[in-house]
Every structure is written in C-alpha cells, then in structure tokens.
Amino acid sequence: MAFRVPASHDEGMTPLPHITTADILARRPPKEPVDPYRPYAWLVEPECTAAGVVDPVATLFLTNRECPFHCLYCDLWKHTLDQPTPSGAIPEQIRFALAQLPPAKHIKLYNSGNFFDPLAIPPGDYPAIAELVQSFETVIVENHPRLMNTHIAEFQSLLTGRLEVALGLETVHPQILPRLNKQMTVADYQRACETLRNSDIDIRTFVLLRPPGLTDDEGITWALQSIETAFAAGSHCVSLIPMRSGNGVMEDLAQQGLFTPPSITAMYEVQRQALQLQRGRVFVDLWGIEALFECPTCGPQQSAVLNGMNLTQRVLPWVECKCGIS
C-alpha cells in the first residue's frame, strides 16, 4: 500500500504522509494467540535504580484488551485481546508469573497499552493486584498521557511501594508527532507529568529514536530534544526506543524511503549526550538490537557497551568497528 505524501508542505516540514487508524489496522499481520489468564512473557532483568545501585526487576507482559489509540509505530498489539479483559484475569496472570520468577525488588506491570484503561485492567482487580505486589519497593505501570483519571489515585492508595507511571512522549518534533496517530500533543504529556508530580508519583518516559521521516542525524537531534523535554517536565528516567518495523505500515514506509531504523552508533550518541545532562537515568532498549548490528564481530561488543551504560549510568568508550564493514 502506497501512502500519499503531501504535494506541498511547510518549509522544513518532514513529508510524512497522514496515515489513518484504518490504514494502520488494514496493514497489520494476524495477532498471536493468547490466554487471558496468562501473561504472554515474564522475566527478571537488572536495572540501575535512582539510588545508583543495580537491582533485579520483575517484568511482566500482561495479556489484556488492546490499546485503543493504534499508534503508527506500535507492534505491542500482537499479544492483546479483542475484548475487555475478564475480571480476575490480571491477578491470576501476576500470581502465575511471580511463581515462575526469582525474587526481585521492583516490578513492571506492562500491559501493551494503558494500565488505567478500565477495559484493559478492571479497577475491581486493583485490591488483588496490590496484594500480590506488596513486597515490591516500586510498582511501574504504563499509561497514555491522555488517560489521566481517578483510577490512578485509587490504585496508588492501595500500594505499599512507590508507584511509577511510564508515559510515551515519543518525540517533540512538531510535524512528526501529529502523524504518529498517538492522538496527543506535547502539552498533553506535560499536563500528565504535572498531575503525576502533584500526586507524588514517579515518571518514566519513552522516547523514540528515529521515527519515520527522519535521517539518522535528525533522529539524534530530535531524540535529545525530546529527552530534555521529558526531564524538564519532571521525568525521573527516560527509556530510548529505537524505531523498528514489524506492524505492516512501517514496512510500507520503509519501501517508500520514509523509514530506516536508526544506527547502533546513533543509539550510543543519544545515550552519551543524554547522560551528560545529568538530569536523570537514561536507558536504551536493547530488545532486538541484533537487527541493528552493522558488523557481526563488533556489533555484540557495541551492544555490551550500551548495556554497560544502562547499568552504570556512566558514559563508556565506544567500540569503533575496524573490520571494514561499518
């Protein structure tokens, strides 16, 4: 499917086409089969905390109703339900996953969308969820900046640990953000941060590296501007997500020359400069990093540098490829 690029646009505007929700849904491959009473994945991973120590974090990828926003770049819908999440399903998923995992100090309840969407996570399940996570020092959930409702305070009041909400800012690029079908503005994000700060809730922010329409250098520039905006709004940490394909529409944009994944060097450069701001923690998402390796010999070493920076929150020397491949 070819998308129509605007024949004219403002000077300096990236000619990214307007892609509707219908376009996005039409291009998606089939979903994966899921069980509403089982998370689709679970693991324990190390993460550098705000105190500067590395703690184990239990990460649960919950199965629940699909996010209603249908962002252009999203591939998280693949493991979601087409109907509201059944009552009692989420506590059962958490109970099951925790029984499989070693002990951890913090927990991420990631649900491929919005924790405070009552059709995704039934509010009636909050007490049971809170009971299951009472031993964790931090409970991290994700939510859309426009879904700031009374359910947040309700859930927070039940927890013994601190609540942290992860918000997707994605990019502050004035032309690209409206084309991502995120259905929010930078101001929406800033208002959400203010609401969370006023409730003594910690903030984590997702920023995209090189969304469609940008070169590698532009991707670096706009990711750094987005990270600075996140810290200015009160975010305690930022997770940098390298843009990837996998949902149909992104492949179409790639074929039209409107999308190329970022280089692994760009990932390093953004994290390097962002850490030097000393405004908060900066993580790079290393999921599927192998796809960005430009050299089979140096790629794993470069990935190890990024992982080391994630864990130490210090700038480490980059591994320059001398193999003649990159």
Residue 210 lies in a domain: yes
Residue 264 lies in a domain: yes
Give φ, ψ of 208 to 5 degrees: -85, 140
Across all residues in the chain, what is the average pLDDT? 94
Residue 103 lies in a domain: yes
Helix-helix angle 216-232:264-277, to 10 degrees: 30
- Cα separations in angstroms, 280 against 183, 196, 209, 304: 27, 17, 18, 21
Residue 61 lies in a domain: yes
Region 221-241 average pLDDT:
98
How many domains does one find in the chain?
2
For 76-97, the pLDDT digits (tens) are: 999 999 999 999 999 999 999 9
Q: Are residues 40 and 151 in the same domain?
A: yes
The type of residue at 6 is P
Q: Are residues 156 and 210 in the same domain?
A: no
Residue 134 lies in a domain: yes
* Locus of tokens 């000393």: 278
DSSP strand pairing (54-61 vs 138-143)? unpaired
pLDDT (0 to 100) of residue 16 = 87
pLDDT (0 to 100) of residue 34 = 97
Region 218-233 average pLDDT:
98
Whether the per-residue pLDDT at 14 is higher than 70: the answer is no
DSSP strand pairing (138-143 vs 106-110)? parallel
Q: Are residues 156 and 214 in the same domain?
A: no
Q: Are residues 155 and 40 in the same domain?
A: yes
Q: Are residues 155 and 41 in the same domain?
A: yes
Phi-psi region of 246 (alpha: psi -120 to 50; beta: other; left: phi over 0): left
- Cα separations in angstroms, 211 against 179, 180, 219: 10, 9, 7
Q: Are residues 210 and 297 in the same domain?
A: yes
Q: Are residues 97 and 154 in the same domain?
A: yes
Q: Are residues 58 and 141 in the same domain?
A: yes
- Using CA atoms, how far apart are residues 144 and 204, in angstroms rounded to an integer? 12
Q: Are residues 43 and 156 in the same domain?
A: yes
* Locus of tokens 């305070």: 153
Q: Extract the tokens encoding 18.
A: 């307007």
Q: Are residues 125 and 243 in the same domain?
A: no
pLDDT (0 to 100) of residue 2 = 53
Residue 256 lies in a domain: yes
For 232-288, the pLDDT digits (tens) are: 999 999 999 999 998 999 999 999 999 999 999 999 999 999 999 999 999 999 999
> What are the DSSP calls for 132-191, one per residue?
HTTT-SEEEEEE-TT---HHHHHHHHH-SSEEEEEEEEE---TTHHHHTT----HHHHHH
Whether the per-residue pLDDT at 324 is higher than 80: the answer is no
For 107-158, the pLDDT digits (tens) are: 999 999 999 999 999 999 999 999 999 999 999 999 999 999 999 999 999 9
Q: Are residues 37 and 113 in the same domain?
A: yes
- Domain holding 65, by residue range, is 32-160
Confidence grade of residue 325 (pLDDT, cut at 50, 70, 90): low
- Boundary-marking domain end, from 160, 185, 220: 160
For 172-203, the pLDDT digits (tens) are: 999 999 999 999 999 999 999 999 999 999 99
Residue 183 lies in a domain: no
Q: Extract the tokens encoding 303.
A: 């990935």
Residue 228 lies in a domain: yes
Q: Are residues 212 and 278 in the same domain?
A: yes
